[in-house]
Structure 1
C-alpha cells in the first residue's frame, strides 16, 4: 500500500512537471503560428503594391550603396556570388548558413523573443558557434545594444574571436583575458559603444577568469549569456555555476554536444540553471526517471511511457541534431578498438601493484641499475586529471618557466634513485602501468640525471610498440594524426619517442597559453608536413578544428565516454574531406579494458534519452515544417 501511494505521488509530481513544460511548448508554438500568419498577410499586401521607385540621383545611389551591408544583385543579397537566405541576419556577412543552421538560428530567436532559455545540443562539428554568432547579429540589428557575454573553455576562446572576425567582422568583440591589470583596462571597454553599430561589445572570456572576476563582470546587465561546452556546469555544486547565477542576464543559452554524460542529475543541473522555475526539484526528477531501470533497457510499456514523457519535458528547451539528421555529406567515421598485450616489464609492475608489493619490486630493481622513480597519487577528480605528476628532471629542450623553477627546487636532491611510491590511488597506478612503465620508473643515463631515450623506451610498452609499427605506414600513406592521452606525463614520453623517430609534431595541453594554442592549431592545419598533434584529452578535445587530420589515436580512454567523443570530433566535422579512422588502444585484460567497458555502459542512457530519432526538439520539427 505504501508503494502504491508513493508511486501515485511521484506520478502526480511528474505530470505537474510535464504540464509546466507543455505550457512553454504550446506558448512558443502558438507564437510561431501567429508569426507565419502575419508573414503571409504581409506577403499578400506586398504583391499588391507597386515596386519601389529606383533612386535616380547619383547622390541617392551613393547613399544607398553606403548603407547596404552586402552586395545586392537583382534585389537579392549575395555573399561571394552566392545568394544569401532571406532569413540570414544582415550583419552575418562571412558565409552562407546551411539550412539546418538557419533552423537552429530561428529556434534561438524564438526562445529569446519569448524570454525562454535553452540548450543548443547539436552534435559536435555542426557549427553551434556560427548559429550563436547569427543570433547576436540579429539582436544587434533589432536594437539590443548589449553587452553580450560568451563564457568558454580556455582552448576555445581564440576560436570564438576568429569566428566573429570571419563571419561578423562589424560586431565589436573583446577578449577578456590576461593579467589582472590588463583585465581592469578591458573591463572599462565593455561600457563603450561601437561607433559603427551603436552597440556594446561581445565579451569572450574563460571559465577561470569569470570565476575570478565575477564581481567586476557582475556590474553589467548582459543582454545574452552563452556558455560554451555547457556540460561544464553539470555539477550543480560547482563554483562556476554559482558565479554564473549571480550575473545579471536577460537570456541564457548553453552549448553542448553532450548534454547527457553520466546520469540524469547532470542533465537536471543544466536545466535548473536555465529554468529554475520549471526544474526545481532534483529528487523528484531522479526518483521518477530511474537510472538503473533505464540502463537495463526499455522492457516494459510503463518504462517506455516514462522515456516518452521525458522527451516531452525536454522538447521546448533542447534542440539536438546529429550528423545523420542533416542533409549534408560528411565522410564516414569508423572506430577500431585495438587490444595490446602488456610487455614483460609492464606485467611485472602491474602484478606488483595489484599485490601491493610494488615498493619492494622497485627497490630490488634499484640494486641492478639506476632508476628515477616518480610516483604520485593522482586524484581521479576530472578537474585534476590534466595536471600530470611529479618528475625529478625535465627535458631541457622543452622546459617551461614553471618546469625550470621545479628543476631548481629539485637541484638539491642527491643524484641517487628516489623511490616515492604511493598506493592510495591504486587505480591510477594501474592505468599508468598500462600506458607505459616509464610513468613509474624512468631510467637515467649512468652518472647523470638525464632520461635515457633508446629502443627500450619502445620495447617496454605494448602500446608504444603498436604505435611504432603504425606510424610509418600512416606517414607513408599521407595521413595526419591526432594522438590523445589523459596524462600530460605520458605526452612527455610520446614526445621523447617522436624525437627519437624524427616525427614532426606539435603539442597542446592544459599548460599551453591561449595565444600559443591557436598558433599551434593554425600551424598544424596549414603545414602538410606536420605529422602528429599531441593533445591532452580534456584540454585539446573541446571546440577546436583540426580537419587537416584524418586519423585519431586514443592512447588511453577517459572514464567519461563523452570526452573521447569530443576528441574524435576535432577532425570529424564540417570541412573534413577524407574518411576518419579512430584507433582506441586498450591493454587487454587490465583496468584499461574495464574502463572502456564501463564507458560504453554509460552511453546506453545517453542514446536512449538524447539521441532517439524521435527527439529532435518539438519546436525544431515545427520549424522544419515551414
Structure 2
C-alpha cells in the first residue's frame, strides 16, 4: 500500500455527498450506519472556532443523526463541555507552537472585548439577561459599554440616544442589546425567554441602509426579521399581526406615509437610525413618530446636533418626552444663554451664566445620551487624522465673474433692501418699489407665471443667488446651461452666464456648455484645480490613495476629465451608480493597488462606503451642514485604517465659501458646547436667529458681501484669538511666508517681490490651518494641542516645538522666540537645498515619516 493510500485510509469520514475520494471500505460503512452529517458548531463555541482556525486542514466535526430532541440535548451538552474546557485548554492552545499553523492575528479576533460573559441583568434577577457569547466575543470594549447603557435605559422603561461617532458600530451594539433582551443564545432561545412573549421591535432607517440592517441581523443573531417596504407591505402586516415577526424594518418615507397603520401596533422597542432626521418638529416624519405607542424609544446618530441647539431638544423630547421641559423653557433656559454667551464680545456675566447652563444641560443629557468619539475609543488602533482647511486663490477670471455677479440687479435688490426708497417714500426699498426685480436675470425666470411676484419677494432670490455664487467659486463651467434641463432654463442660464462673463466670454469658450475635453480638463481658470493638480502629483508619486469628494455631479464630470488627462487610474460613484454595483466599486478600490483616486459625490451616502485603503481625502466644495463634510472624511477614517489620514478641505478664498466654513465653525462649536459640554473660543459676534446680533455671519448683507480683497476667515480667527495674540507674531508688510503656531499660513501680503508672487500664484494657496486647532478646544483637547510637538502623528506642522502659553507670557520675549523659530525654519529649508517658500510647498504634502527624516538629517549635519 502506498503512503498516499495509507493516509486516505486514516482520514475520517467526510459528509460531502459529491466526494469521490473515499475508499470502497468507507462507503460500505456509510451504507450500513445512519447517515453522517457535519455538525455546525454553536456560534457560542469559541474553543471550537479557535481549534478550527489553528488547524485549517482539519475535517469538520461530525455526529450521528438523531432525533431533534436528542440533537438539541447533545448541542447543549457540547456547549457546556466546551465552556468548561475553555478555561483549561484555551490558553495552552494559543501558546503551543505548531509548524505551519496560521497565525491568529490574521483573523478578526484582534482588539475585541474580553471573553467573559456580558451579563446585563442584576444579581438574582430572573431570567438572566446576557449578550450571547457568539456576539460578546466579537465586541470591542466601547461596544460592550454601549450595550450596557442601552439595557440600563430599557430596564428603567424609557429610551435614550446612542450618539457614538460615525464608524463605532452603533448597529452592532443595537443588535447585541436586542439579542440579550430577547434571550437569543446562539441558534436557539432559552426556555425562560420563550415563555415570556415580547412585543416586536420596530426599526426605522433610511432606505439605503434597510438591507444593511437585514444583513447585520443575519450575521449576528437569529431573529425573525421582516421588511415593511415596497409592494408586499400588506403581507408583512398580516405576518406581524400573527406574531410571526420579531423585528420589523421600514424606511423613513414608508413610515411617514403609512405610520398611522404601524402606530396601531404595540411595540416593545423602537429604534430610529440616523435619528437626526427628527430635528425638525414641523416635519411630517416627526409628527408621525410621535404617535408610536412605546416609551422605549432609542435614537442612533453620530451627529446629534447639526445646525441649531433646538434640534437637540426636538430629538431628546421624542426619545424621552418632557426630559428637557417644554420647548419655550428650553429656548429661554438653555438655547438663548448658550448662544449669547458664545459671542466674542459677550459680557462676563453672560459667559458665566452660559457656563452654568451648559453644566446643568450636561447633567440632564448624561442620563439619556451616550456620546463617544473615535479618538477616545479606537484611537489607539488608528494612526490619526489631520483635517486641513486650505484657502485657494480664485483665478483672475473667477474674481472678475464673482464681482460682476454681485452687481446684478437681483443681488443689488437684496443688498439694498433696507435702504430708503428712491421714490421719496418713508418706506424701505423692499417695502416699496424694489420688492420685485423685473429688470433682473434670475427673478423674471422664477416668476415667469406670476409677473407681480410672490409673497416672499425678493427673499425668494436668496437661495438661487447663493447657488450661483458657489458655482463661480468652484468652476466657471458650472454656471453654463445644462443640456439635461428644459429649454427655458437653458436659455435663462445662457443669458445669466453671458452677463457674468461679460468681456471675458471668449476666454471661457462662450456662454454655452463646453464639449472640449482639453478645455474642461485645463486648470488655468480654476483656483482649486490648480491646487488639486499639485497635490495629486505629490501624493500619487508617494503611493497614496485619494478620495475626491464633490456634491456637484457636473463638477465630478470635470474632475473626471482632468484625471483622464493626467493619466490617473480612478473609480467613480455618484447618485446614478446602481445600488448593486456600489459595494463592488468599493471593494475593487480597496483591493486594487492600481486604483489611485476615487471620485465620490458627497450626497451618495449609505453604509458600506468604507474606503479605508485611502489615506488622503479632498473635499472639493464645502457644505452648509458641517456633518456632510465630516461624514465624507469618515469614509476613510474608520476602524481598519492602517495609515495616517490627511484631509484637505478646499475653499475659494475671498468668496461665499469662506462664510460657509465660518458658519461650520460656529455650528460645530455650539454642538460641542451643548452636546459635549466643551469649552470653545469665542470667535464670532453673530448670534444665530437674532437680528440684533447678526455680526459677521448672519444676514443677507453678509451673504452677498464682496470678500475678494480680504482674508475673511484668517482675520476673524486671529483677531479674536486672544491667546494667539500673546504668543504669535503678526504678519508684517513684506513677509513672504509665516508658519504660525496654529498651522501654516501662506499669506497674500501687501508688499511682495515678483518672484514670491509668481510662486504663490503657482501654488494657488493663500492661507491654511487645521480645523482641530480652531474647533474642539476643550480642556482635554487644549492641553493636548498646545503642548504637542512635531513628533506626533496627528500633526503636520510646525517643525519646531510649541511653547506652552504660560511660559511664553512669563518670558515676555515673543518676537525673539518667533525670530529664532524662523531662523530654524530657514536652516531646515537650506539643509534640503530649498528656499523657504519651496520648502513650505513641500511640507503641505509630506508625510510624518518624511518630516521626521528631515529633522534627523538636519541633526546629523550639526557639528
> Under a length normalisation based on structure 2, what TM-score does the superposition of the two structures give?
0.52
Equivalent positions of 1:14-53 (< 5 A) are none
C-alpha deviations, 1:578-622, integer Å up to 9, x for none?
1111001011111111211221122222222323479xxxxxxxx
Match of residue 154, structure 1, among 180, 187, 207? 207
> For residue 19 of structure 1, what is the aligned residue in structure 2?
none
Matched, 1:571 2:636: yes
Match of residue 246, structure 1, among 287, 291, 296? 291
Matched, 1:432 2:441: no
Whole-Å Cα distance in 2 between the matches of residues 478 and 122 of structure 1?
32
Matched, 1:311 2:350: no
Matched, 1:332 2:384: yes
Is 298-307 or 62-71 further displaced after alignment?
62-71
Matched, 1:294 2:359: no
Conserved? CA contact 1:70–1:93, under 8 Å:
no
> For residue 622 of structure 2, what is the aligned residue in structure 1?
557
In structure 2, relative to structure 1, the CA distance for the partners of 1:73 and 1:92 (3 Å cut) is closer
Match of residue 558, structure 2, among 490, 493, 496? 493
> For residue 651 of structure 2, what is the aligned residue in structure 1?
586
Whole-Å Cα distance in 2 between the matches of residues 454 and 492 of structure 1?
13
Whole-Å Cα distance in 2 between the matches of residues 183 and 317 of structure 1?
33
Whole-Å Cα distance in 2 between the matches of residues 263 and 139 of structure 1?
35
Whole-Å Cα distance in 1 between the matches of residues 558 and 410 of structure 2?
21
Match of residue 225, structure 2, among 159, 168, 173? 173
C-alpha deviations, 1:243-263, integer Å up to 9, x for none?
222233352111111212222
Matched, 1:466 2:513: no
CA drift at 1:101: 1.2
C-alpha deviations, 1:321-345, integer Å up to 9, x for none?
2223336422210011222111233
In structure 2, relative to structure 1, the CA distance for the partners of 1:478 and 1:95 (3 Å cut) is farther
In structure 2, relative to structure 1, the CA distance for the partners of 1:478 and 1:255 (3 Å cut) is same
C-alpha deviations, 1:13-32, integer Å up to 9, x for none?
xxxxxxxxxxxxxxxxxxxx
CA drift at 1:104: 0.9
Whole-Å Cα distance in 2 between the matches of residues 569 and 288 of structure 1?
34
Whole-Å Cα distance in 2 between the matches of residues 535 and 76 of structure 1?
47
In structure 2, relative to structure 1, the CA distance for the partners of 1:171 and 1:595 (3 Å cut) is same
Conserved? CA contact 2:389–2:649, under 8 Å:
yes
Structure 2 unaligned spans of 5+: 1-65, 91-106, 119-129, 184-192, 412-440, 447-460, 484-508, 680-863
Match of residue 546, structure 1, among 589, 599, 611? 611
Whole-Å Cα distance in 2 between the matches of residues 222 and 378 of structure 1?
50
Matched, 1:84 2:115: yes
C-alpha deviations, 1:92-124, integer Å up to 9, x for none?
548521222111101101111111110111122
- Name the SS of the counterpart of 1:482 in structure 2: strand
Whole-Å Cα distance in 2 between the matches of residues 531 and 205 of structure 1?
37
Conserved? CA contact 1:91–1:137, under 8 Å:
no
Structure 1 unaligned spans of 5+: 1-57, 195-199, 360-373, 380-421, 615-626
Matched, 1:320 2:329: no
> Under a length normalisation based on structure 1, what TM-score does the superposition of the two structures give?
0.70
CA drift at 1:502: 4.4
Whole-Å Cα distance in 2 between the matches of residues 375 and 451 of structure 1?
25
Equivalent positions of 1:308-457 (< 5 A) are 308-326=359-377, 328-356=380-408, 425-441=464-480, 451-457=515-521
Specify which structure has the bigger relative contact order, considering alpha-carbon pairs within 8 angstroms and separated by 6 or more residues.
1
Whole-Å Cα distance in 2 between the matches of residues 483 and 451 of structure 1?
23
Whole-Å Cα distance in 1 between the matches of residues 594 and 218 of structure 2?
28
Equivalent positions of 1:187-336 (< 5 A) are 187-191=237-241, 200-289=245-334, 290-296=337-343, 299=348, 300-326=351-377, 328-336=380-388
In structure 2, relative to structure 1, the CA distance for the partners of 1:210 and 1:70 (3 Å cut) is farther
Whole-Å Cα distance in 2 between the matches of residues 250 and 474 of structure 1?
52
> For residue 805 of structure 2, what is the aligned residue in structure 1?
none
Whole-Å Cα distance in 2 between the matches of residues 567 and 115 of structure 1?
36
Conserved? CA contact 1:158–1:514, under 8 Å:
no
Is 96-105 or 248-257 further displaced after alignment?
248-257
> For residue 82 of structure 2, what is the aligned residue in structure 1?
72
In structure 2, relative to structure 1, the CA distance for the partners of 1:301 and 1:342 (3 Å cut) is closer
Aligned CA RMSD, in angstroms, stands at 3.7
Whole-Å Cα distance in 2 between the matches of residues 217 and 131 of structure 1?
25
Is 62-71 or 555-564 further displaced after alignment?
62-71
Whole-Å Cα distance in 2 between the matches of residues 220 and 247 of structure 1?
8
> For residue 432 of structure 2, what is the aligned residue in structure 1?
none
Whole-Å Cα distance in 1 between the matches of residues 273 and 248 of structure 2?
13
Whole-Å Cα distance in 2 between the matches of residues 163 and 456 of structure 1?
43
> For residue 217 of structure 2, what is the aligned residue in structure 1?
164
CA drift at 1:90: 1.1
In structure 2, relative to structure 1, the CA distance for the partners of 1:94 and 1:117 (3 Å cut) is closer
> For residue 197 of structure 1, what is the aligned residue in structure 2?
none
Is 276-285 or 87-96 further displaced after alignment?
87-96
In structure 2, relative to structure 1, the CA distance for the partners of 1:598 and 1:546 (3 Å cut) is same
Whole-Å Cα distance in 1 between the matches of residues 641 and 352 of structure 2?
42
Matched, 1:133 2:172: no
Conserved? CA contact 1:146–1:202, under 8 Å:
no
Greater gyration radius:
2
Whole-Å Cα distance in 1 between the matches of residues 80 and 626 of structure 2?
44
In structure 2, relative to structure 1, the CA distance for the partners of 1:225 and 1:534 (3 Å cut) is farther
Number of aligned residue pairs: 492
